[in-house]
Structure 1
Amino acid sequence: MISDDPRLPLPVRISRLKRSRRLRLRVDHDARLLKLTMPWRHSARAALDWVVGQRPWIERQLAAAPDAVPLHDGATIPVEGVPLAIVHQPDARRGVRVEGQELIIGGPAESVPAAIERWLRALARERLSAETARVAAAAGVTVRSVSVGDAASRWGSCSSSGAIRFSWRLILAPPHVLRFVVAHEVAHRLHMDHSPAFKAAEERLFGGPVGPARSELRRLSPSLRAVGRR
């Protein structure tokens, strides 16, 4: 259900969840939506009134959102935490390669965004698969599969069957941030909760306190999600 409330700067998508115990609100900058989750039997009207009461917070989120960074010639994007300038060379061979501080791509201009995203996804899958295998071996657990996607609000997820899925955007972050997310998801192969035992396993697999890496990911999240947005 989507509501266009004139009191709000963006439409609101309302989702009722049977397991939800409280109202949760998130700004989806890509979709230009406010996403509200609410308990199954909660009043939609009361929930919208609550969202209106959050308007100062919403306005701050919109104002703080970084500008979109389209994947085209002249843009600069981080790859494994290192800023690289995109350089389009139409006459160069198709494909993407790193030369110093530049990301060189050949072929027609209209193919540049899709080609760069494919390259980033492939690099993310390679790095995440290798790191997951390493951490899983240290944990003494098995992982059924590793895949990458582009979830709007989650950096990783682990199913009870051992399938782990990550956001490809982790390849944009510094390597220790990627390692933290891998340690977090592999720790779920030991404990499918966020209990003290889980947190101890997470820190053991990461190799130390995870707080700084978690805070860094939280700080970087808006800029990482802006990459490739039009």
Structure 2
Amino acid sequence: MDRSRTPSVPTHRDELEIELGDRFYLLRVRKLRQARSIAVSADTVKGEVRLTMPLHVSTAQALRFVQSKSDWLVDRFAEALPPVPIVNGAEIAFAGESHFISWSRDFSRKPLKIGDEIRVGGPEDRIQSRVLDWMKAQARDAYVDDLAYYCVRAGSDLPTLSVGDARRRWGSCSGRQAIRMNWRLIMAPPMVRRSVVAHEVAHLRHMNHSPAFYALLDEIFEGKRRDADRWLKQHGSALHLIGAPARTA
């Protein structure tokens, strides 16, 4: 049986809808000048299908390619872990350790970490938004300290810091002396978070991955970067599930 149907007419230039199995998924299409072939992937966190295609390829041809991968896409979504909502009693990671969300109307609306609990008050339906805002603020504070430490060690000026939630990058450094970090690393062990900060600081002097770059990184980072890289490969995708939007049926 055909497990997909022709995507519906897009409501936006780069967004369509596709049926896979018995569910509908948003199909995000990107035409890139540098793309050499059609590529399709399953974003199992957001519950979306991503399609990248060269400029010379027709949309109809690209959509036929997606349909040919329908069984593979269904399997990827079936294997994916579900998003983890932040609700009363939920267990989430903070600084590499498990913490339980504890809610009471008597608690302060501003989350407070006490032992292995993160206590939060206010309306119960606002638990997730309050905890997420709190973790993002904690991440920014940690990054400010991390950057100050590693910039001194690297002999670099402090860059402009921004904190976001990039799906595919934990950190990035621009040639304009600006560093952008993913707030979700506040959930990882501190040495993992710090390894990413040190990595981006090293890029302030070497915008590449040359031997000189890695020599500087190993000089300024006090931990074992390969262990940190290994941790992110094994556990990084799980960080994106915490507080992620629920997938629609």
Task: Give yes or no for TM over 0.5.
Answer: yes
Q: What one-letter code is carried by the residue in structure 1 that aligns with 2:190?
A: P
Counterparts in 2 of 1:116 and 1:208: CA distance versus 1, 3 Å: closer
Residue 121 in 1 paired to residue 136 in 2? yes
Q: Deviations over 1:31-74 (max 9, x none)?
A: 32112233333444444444455556534532332222111101
Counterparts in 2 of 1:59 and 1:185: CA distance versus 1, 3 Å: farther
Q: In structure 2, how many angstroms separate the alpha carbons of the residues matched to 1:201 and 1:43?
A: 46
RMSD value, Cα: 2.4
Q: What one-letter code is carried by the residue in structure 2 that aligns with 1:225?
A: H
**Structure 2 gap ranges (5+):** 1-13
**Identical residues among aligned pairs (%):** 35
Q: Deviations over 1:140-176 (max 9, x none)?
A: 1123311211112211111111111111101011111
Provide the secondary structure at the position in 1 that maps to 2:92.
strand
Q: Residue 137 of structure 1 aligns with which residue? A: 152
Counterparts in 2 of 1:36 and 1:148: CA distance versus 1, 3 Å: same
Q: Residue 208 of structure 2 aligns with which residue? A: 193
Provide the secondary structure at the position in 2 that maps to 1:135.
helix
Q: Choose which of 91, 97, 100 in structure 2 pairs with 1:82.
A: 97
Q: Residue 19 of structure 1 aligns with which residue? A: 34
Q: Residue 2 of structure 1 aligns with which residue? A: 15
Is the deviation greater in 79-88 or in 106-115? 106-115
Provide the secondary structure at the position in 2 that maps to 1:119.
helix
Q: Residue 235 of structure 2 aligns with which residue? A: 220
Shift of 1:132: 1.4
Q: Residue 31 of structure 1 aligns with which residue? A: 46
- Contact 1:28–1:152 (Cα < 8 Å) also in 2: no
Work out which of the two has the higher radius of gyration on C-alpha atoms and give 1 or 2.
Answer: 2
**Structure 1 gap ranges (5+):** none
Q: Residue 105 of structure 1 aligns with which residue? A: 120
Q: What one-letter code is carried by the residue in structure 2 that aligns with 1:146?
A: L
Shift of 1:222: 2.2
Q: Deviations over 1:95-118 (max 9, x none)?
A: 111112111112221222121111
Is the deviation greater in 123-132 or in 14-23? 14-23
Counterparts in 2 of 1:6 and 1:109: CA distance versus 1, 3 Å: closer
Q: In structure 1, how many angstroms separate the alpha carbons of the residues matched to 2:74 and 2:234?
A: 18
User: How do residues 30-69 of structure 1 correspond to structure 2 at under 5 angstroms?
Assistant: 30-52=45-67, 54-55=69-70, 57-69=72-84
